[in-house]
Structure 1
Amino acid sequence: MTKLAIFSVLYLLLTYQAQSQGCVAIRSTGGFCTRDQALGHDSTKWMLSVSNRYFKSFRHFVGTEEQKQRLEQGTEVINHAYTLDLALFRNLKNGWSIGLDVPVISNARSSMYEHGGNGAKNARHSTHSFGVGDIRIAVYRWLIDQTKMPKGNIQVGLGLKLPTGDYRYQDFFIKNDSTKVLGPVDQSIQLGDGGTGFTTEVNAFYNFNDHVGVYGNFYYLFNPREQNGVSTARGGALSADAVNYGTSVMSVPDQMMVRAGASVTFNKFTFSAGVRDECQPSKDLIGGSMGFRRPGYIISIEPGLNYQFKKATVYAYVPFAVKRNRTQSVADKLKTEATGVYAQGDAAFADYLVNIGASFKF
């Protein structure tokens, strides 16, 4: 891998906010091994990355237990999510770099309970969202002089996430043959979260030789805004629980991702395999945590492949979920305390995520 990989890695880390993986609003990235990314910092080069990401979420979990009856009864919620990420990068001097990421999102959500109701005849319908998501700008700095330690490096990054995605996106909910209601779509397919946030990142790699290396990435999105004011009633009346336990409007949650793995390079091919943990916590590190959210985490095995051309890199990464956990939200805990009955909501997760893209240097 050449210096083009530097930008490719940064791009895939920058796109973290672009799209959720199922009902748990964890903004997911692709994967890219970080081998050799400190080589040849070229201050005269730009790079454009284009990534396509898709998943289908439909398996419901409460905690780590899958609600298999939802599939058997036909009441599962199905999200189809596609994101086109466009990212432009500039590699600067002395290990500095800067990037701008613009996601374009297209989502579809099929359900019964949001429309005619679970079990009702011909109740399944779909809502949709389409548009630009939350744009992010970030700066990065390699901490180690590559001439002193050519086999490895550590990079830190700080970014600003802007609330450019429409977090009030609306569509029609079909209640029956003659009635449809306009209201905000579910949080999982909204184009943005409505918060101005900032991101922190740590990326590291070490190459044992010309063929074998290891990598690690850590990412955290701080969203200080507690709620974005968007109703969760889908154009209808709020439930008593929503009013009593603070889920009448959508939360603006933090997000986290951790990746680690190894890579092997043969000629122009690089194969990688690692573990990836994506998490939406129940409580934010800064600011309040009230409002509706579906906290949880996904642990995946992440195989990847990329091929290096002279001025381009093409890649494909497919994380497969091995553990999915819809954890208790703040509202669940409040309801448990108030009623004395343990409460925990569910969420739909995908089996896998597909990331296919290319990076071009010019």
Structure 2
Amino acid sequence: MKNKKQLCSFFALVALVCVSGRAIAQGCVAAHSNQRPIDQLVRSDEGGSGSMWSIHNLTVDIGYRVFNSNKYFQGTNEIARPTAVENHQNIFDIGVQYRVSPRWSFIADVPVYNGTRNQIYPPSGIYQVSGLGDITLGAQAWIFRPPTENGGNIAVSASLKLPTGIDNATGSALYQGKIIKATADPSMQPGDGGWGFVLGSQAYKSLWRRSDVYIEGQYLFNPEDTNGVRSFRSQPGQGILSVTDQYLFRAGLSQGVPKVRGLALGLGMRSEGVPVRDLLGDSNGFRRPGSIISLDPGLMYNFRTTVLSINGPWALYRNRPPSVPEIQHHTTNGDAFFADYTVIVSLSHHF
């Protein structure tokens, strides 16, 4: 157990965007979330399954995600527009994991958000929002005591989401011929204004020399209906912002690069989104339900007690289905702007 070598060369995500990470926002992307890499499982040796579990108790992850949503969708149809909304977002995440035993850890994530949106429809204007997001606090447990003899394991986690983020950020906009302070789009809000909880799981299994299959997922439950923030929308039932669920799932294969110690390349699929209806509670108010399925390539590099991972999910499928108010009032299916790709970078250090 005091061997400082680490298990498996492994490339992995986030989130269940939340599990172990956080998911708070909605709108022009299906989810805002930074992912917690499974960097305890990175194999830095050449021997395959002989690595020992890391003895480091404290791990700090610094995550960064950037994307530019400018592709206009109604349903699954992309519609060309001469003047598209430009929605540029930067999401930072500071994650902390403290291991109290080989199986059990306390986890916490502190997100920080920065974004701009050039909105062409009323209230039109350029919105700029920065601030702390919704903090999550929880615990994670491995089903089997690591290290396992079969080269695989399953972890489960649960976190409480605190409404620490700003949910009523505004910008200067033109509305009915006047310059007003209007509520920024839900996709721009650092927080959602509601208490929630996140359940997640991640699993891995060694297949052959320096090769691993992985799967992980997380779901953010937001039982509250709306948060009382005015949306400035005139459509029936959409005058107040909704507090939405979020989800993220990933699966793929990681392969160590021959003759390069500590380097692995990964390729998988990623699905994330905001559902039309929450699993718990009502789903009224203004939301943009949406889903994205992406090809998820990446790499991970382990150098002693530091792990760098880079992902570049590329969208293959995007869908903006009608929300509950749109279904109830038989109004036109709303729209959403999606990104073609996302860049996700994470740096983890074991102390």
The two structures have a TM-score, normalised by structure 1, of 0.85
Partner of 1:345: 334
Instruction: Specify the SS of the correspondent of 2:20.
Output: helix
Please give the residue correspondences for 1:1-362 in structure 2 after superposition, counting only pairs within 5 Å: 2=6, 13-17=19-23, 20=26, 23-30=28-35, 32=37, 36=41, 40-42=52-54, 44-68=56-80, 70=81, 73-74=82-83, 76-115=84-123, 125-146=125-146, 149-175=149-175, 179-233=178-232, 239=234, 241-242=235-236, 246-266=237-257, 267-336=261-330, 343-362=332-351
Which deviates further from its counterpart, 192-201 or 91-100? 91-100
Q: RMSD of aligned C-alpha atoms? A: 2.6
Structure whose residues are more often helix by fraction: 1
Cα separation, 2, equivalents of 1:249 and 1:147:
50
Q: Which residue is equivalent to 1:119?
A: none
Q: Which amino acid letter does the alignment assign opposite residue 352 of structure 1?
A: Y
Which string of whole-angstrom CA distances, capped at 9 and with x for unpartnered residues, describes residues 281-302 of structure 1? 1111111111110111000000
TM-score normalized by the length of structure 2: 0.88
Q: What letter is aligned with 2:238? A: T
Assess if the C-alpha contact under 8 Å between 1:61 and 1:326 holds in 2.
yes
Identity, % of aligned positions: 33
Asked if structure 1 preserves the Cα contact closer than 8 Å seen for 2:9 and 2:211, the reply is no
**Alpha-carbon distance in 2 for matches of 1:322, 1:10:** 19
Choose between structure 1 and 2 for higher RCO, CA contacts under 8 A separated by at least 6 residues: 2
For the residues of structure 1 that align with 2:210 and 2:70, how far apart are their CA atoms?
39
In 2, Cα distance between equivalents of 1:115 and 1:229: 19
Give the C-alpha shift of residue 148 in structure 1.
Answer: 5.1
Structure 1 gap ranges (5+): 117-124, 337-341
Checking the alignment, whether the CA contact within 8 Å between 2:65 and 2:90 is kept in structure 1 is yes
Counterpart secondary structure, 1:14: coil
Amino acid at match of 1:325: N
Question: Offset of 1:304 from its aligned partner?
Answer: 0.7
What's the CA shift string for 1:129-178, capped at 9, x where partnerless? 101101011211111234554411111111111110010112211359x8
Distance 1:114 1:35 in 2: 48
Instruction: Supply the distance in 2 between the matched residues of 1:343 and 1:19 (Cα, whole angstroms).
Output: 23
Q: Distance in 2 between matches of 1:306 and 1:94?
A: 23
Structure 1 stretch 192-201 or stretch 43-52: which is displaced more? 43-52
Deviation of residue 44 (structure 1)?
5.0
**Could you tell me whether the CA contact under 8 Å between 2:8 and 2:212 is conserved in 1?**
no
Contact 1:19 1:81 in 2 (8 A): no
Moved more, 138-147 or 262-271: 138-147
- Contact 2:161–2:198 (8 Å) recurs in 1: yes
For 1:223 and 1:17, the matched residues in 2 are separated by: 11
Count of paired positions: 335
Letter of the 2:342 counterpart = L
In 2: Cα distance, 1:312 partner to 1:24 partner: 30
Q: CA deviation at 1:30?
A: 4.0
Which residue in 2 is equivalent to 1:339?
Answer: none
* Shift in alpha-carbon separation, 1:115–1:279, aligned structure 2, 3 A: closer
| Aligned equivalents of 2:8, 2:133: Cα separation in 1 | 26
Q: Kindly provide the amino acid, as one letter, of the partner of residue 157 in structure 2.
A: G
